[in-house]
Amino acid sequence: MDATAQDANSYVGIDVSKDQLDVHIHPAGEAFSVSRDTAGLEGLIERLKAYALKAIAVEATGGLESVVVASLLAEGLPVIVVNPAQVRAFANALGKRAKTDPIDAAVIARFVEATKPEIRSLPSAQTLALADLMARRRQIVQMITAERQRAMRSTANARLQKSIARLLKALQRELDSLDDDIDTSVRGSPVWREKEDLLSSVPGVGKVIARTLLAELPELGTLDRRQIAALVGLAPFTRQSGKWRGKSFISGGRASCRTVLFTGALVAARHNPDLKAFRQRLINAGKPKIMAIIAVARKLLTILNAIIRDKSPWAPKIV
What is the pLDDT, as a whole number, of residue 298? 94
List the domain boundaries for the chain: 3-115, 125-188, 215-310
Q: Are 33 and 15 in contact (CB under 8 A)?
A: no
| Of 55, 12, 18, the residue nearest 30 (C-alpha) | 12
Question: What whole-number distance in Å separates Cα of residue 110 and Cα of residue 276?
Answer: 44
What is the pLDDT, as a whole number, of residue 123? 65
CATH of 3-115, one of 3.40.50.720, 2.60.40.1120, 3.40.220.10, 3.30.420.40: 3.30.420.40
What is the pLDDT, as a whole number, of residue 241? 37
What is the pLDDT, as a whole number, of residue 120? 63
| Of 91, 133, 120, 129, the residue nearest 108 (C-alpha) | 91
Cα atoms found within 13 Å of the Cα of residue 92, Cβ hemisphere only: 6
pLDDT tens across the length of the chain (319 residues): 444 444 458 899 998 888 889 999 988 888 999 998 888 888 988 888 888 888 888 887 766 777 788 778 777 788 888 877 788 888 777 776 555 667 788 889 898 888 887 766 556 677 778 888 888 998 999 999 999 999 998 888 889 999 999 999 999 999 999 999 999 888 888 888 999 999 999 999 999 999 999 988 888 898 888 888 888 888 764 444 334 344 444 455 788 899 999 999 999 999 999 999 999 999 999 999 999 999 999 999 999 999 999 999 998 875 4
Q: Are 10 and 26 in contact (CB under 8 A)?
A: yes
Question: What whole-number distance in Å separates Cα of residue 48 and Cα of residue 109?
Answer: 14
User: 3-class SS at 237?
Assistant: strand
CA angle 278/281/282 to nearest 5° reads 90
Cα atoms found within 13 Å of the Cα of residue 66, Cβ hemisphere only: 16
Question: What whole-number distance in Å separates Cα of residue 101 and Cα of residue 15?
Answer: 6
b (16+ CB within 10 A) / e for 205-227:
beebbbbbbbbbbbbbbebeeee
